[in-house]
Structure 1
């Protein structure tokens, strides 16, 4: 079953390779979407795919982050059924 994951990561997550690390962790998983820096210093992850792959992506990010995650806000919603791949914006 596909789902949509929206996650905001707070802490020292900009300027430390965090987005590139998320992209690396997403490789090999069936996820589509993007990761981007936000103006307030957070990093936003917006991804669609099988819930098991999205959970695996979160586990990878949280167990091997670049930078320091002080807090994260995780939201699960219905999938947008995107098929554009995964990238950095």
Structure 2
């Protein structure tokens, strides 16, 4: 059987999904999306990326750090190291 993928979103909306590459403002790859966070209205509020090959760690990225989503990549307003530092500081502040 043939499966069809349908969405109730306008064609102008871009989807963020697991496996999408995330790059910093320096265009270097930071990681790939592992989880997407949505609010009760179904709006994406952020996502979790896994960074590293052997010693992996998670970085939570809020949507206000996103500059652009171009289909196969998510471009951030920060470099990878800036995003890691800000995410670490935010996590430490809530712990």
Give the TM-score normalised by structure 1: 0.28
Give the TM-score normalised by structure 2: 0.27
Larger radius of gyration: 2
- Bigger share in strand: 1
